[in-house]
Structure formats: C-alpha cells, structure tokens
A = this chain, B = another copy of it.
Amino acid sequence: MTQGEIRILPLHGIGEVQPGDDLAAILAAAIDRAGGLTPGDILVVTQKIVSKAEGRLIDPATVEPSPFAYQIARAGKKDARYQEVVLRESKRIVKMANGVLITETHHGFVCANSGVDESNVDGGRRLSLLPVDPDASAARLREALAARYHHAPAVIITDTFGRPWREGQVNVAIGVAGMAPLRDFAGIEDHYGYTMQATLIAVADEVAAAAELVMGKIDRVPAAILRGYQYEPVETGTARQLIRDPRFDLFR
C-alpha cells in the first residue's frame, strides 16, 4: 500500500432495482460482499438505480405530447412522447438543433434531454427521470448506511453528462451528502511561496469520474466505493454548489 493511495471498488451483484426497493439495504449487502465499509469511504451510486428505487419512471404511452413536442420530434430521431417528457423535466432550453436538446433541469443542471433516459429500464419500455432531489437521495442513503455501520460514508449520486468543446461524456455528481464538493486552493501558498490565485477543484465530479471507470455502462455495476481520498467532511455539502452562478458564467 503506497502512502496516499486511492482504491476504487466496484460493488458487484446489485441486480435489478425495482420501484419501492430499499436501496440502502441492497447497497449494504453489496458493500458487505466487497469487505464492508471503512471510515472515510465515499459511496458513489449511479442515478439510474436511485431513480428506479424512487419510482422516477414514466411509461411514455401515458403522456400526451404537446404541439411543440411533435415539432421537436419531427426534427430528430426521438418520438414526440419522449420529447414531451424532456420538456416537462426542463426549466429552460439552452440550445437545440436537429432534435437534440441541451436543457437546464429543474435542479439547475445543464445536460442533454434533462437526463431523461431510454436505456437500461425494462428494455426501453419506460423512461427514467433524474431524482427529484438528488442531494436528499444522497443524504437518505448516507443516514441509512450510518445507522448500519456506525460511521457515515460520504455519498455521491452521479450521471454521465456531455460537455461543450470536448468529445464524449463524463460521469459527474448530481447529488452529494457528507462532503464538500469543491476544494478551494485560492489564497493557499504553493511550495514557492507564491499565492495561488484561483484554483477551485470540483473534487466530487472527479470522484464521480473515477468511479465510472469501474462501473461501465453494461457491466451491471451501478455503484462503487472510493477509499483513501481525504475529502473535507461537511454536512452542508450539496451538488448545487457545482452549478456555476449564472452571473459568473461566461457561457450563458
């Protein structure tokens, strides 16, 4: 074991999560199979199983598309019922072209199609929506696991988001509990005595990205433990701190 080493442990055997399932109990069983929880661990959970357990699923057949949804559908490859669900999950359309929508969700996250997903839910027959309050979802898991293990892990709920300029998606944090999602180096002297001007690192997003490497998309590994990272334990940590204040965002 090298000093300062970090380990990322996939949580195997979680299987199919259904609406109403006790996700904390399911995760705890998987954690126990991986050797248990160590103080200081970060539990990383993909949004998909959180949404399933919370029943954030919708049968598109039950949705009546609006005229605007039909219009978007005609320009792209997805159907009007799907587009209608995306519109209902959106606070704002940031950009749209060729039936692709970049939206701001009701939480304030900017992503494709407000995170509405067709894949991996009962063969595509239902759509999965982002959790209503991913921070609260993370806090509930943290509390339930603390009761079981007598120490509370930090918890991060994740989703894979695209980004401007760079190709490919990366896993990011959409819900956080028990840790500061940002690490601030501003005003800290580096080892030359030079005061660093503004370096704020989105460590919760980096933890989410790291965990994706063991989760994959088709490997049935929807959660992982990241062990050995010295995060800042903060009860008030929230993924909303990762949303850039529009006043300071050159890209709005």
Contacts and interface: CB of A to CB of B under 8 A. Distances in A.
B206 A2 contact: no
Interface in A155-193: 160, 163-172, 181-182, 185, 188-193
Given A3-B10, A168-B202, A213-B6, A251 B192 contact: no
A120 B121 CA distance: 48
Contact of A241 (B109, B167, B244, B245): B167
Contacts of A201: 160, 168-171, 212, 217
What is the interface residue range for chain A against chain B?
35 or more
Interface stretch (A58-66, A95-103, A131-139): A95-103
Interface string A1-17: 01111111110100000
Nearest to A104: B165
Most buried by B among A109, A120, A197, A206: A206
